[in-house]
Amino acid sequence: MESHKRTELVNRLMEEANLMMGVLEKAMAGERIEKSQPAMHGTHHPHEPYSLEDEHKSWGTILRALTEIQTALDQIEQSERQRIER
């Protein structure tokens, strides 16, 4: 795969991670507002092991890993260019 295609793929994944983190941040803000208001009749909030914070943290982990991958790909690209120039 060509260098620019690898970079493009990682960039697209980074955009997705940033988008998902933004969506989750809005959802967490809504959740905080909902918790601060008195419960409405019939509102049920099951206590599940799932949490928006956990999902947000996971996307943050993915974003950090992709950033490291991008840095490594940049280094590989530089090495490839230097090798070709010789």
CA distance 68 to 15: 15
| 39 token code pair | 């419960």
Structure confidence at residue 29 as a pLDDT band (50, 70, 90): very high
pLDDT in tens, 35-78: 888 766 555 555 667 899 999 999 999 999 999 999 999 999 99
Domain ranges of the chain: 3-35+51-85
CB 55 within 8 A of CB 21: no
**pLDDT for the residue numbered 86:** 81
What 3-state class would DSSP assign to 44? coil
The pLDDT of 6-27, averaged and rounded, is 97
| 16 token code pair | 């997705």
**pLDDT for the residue numbered 6:** 93
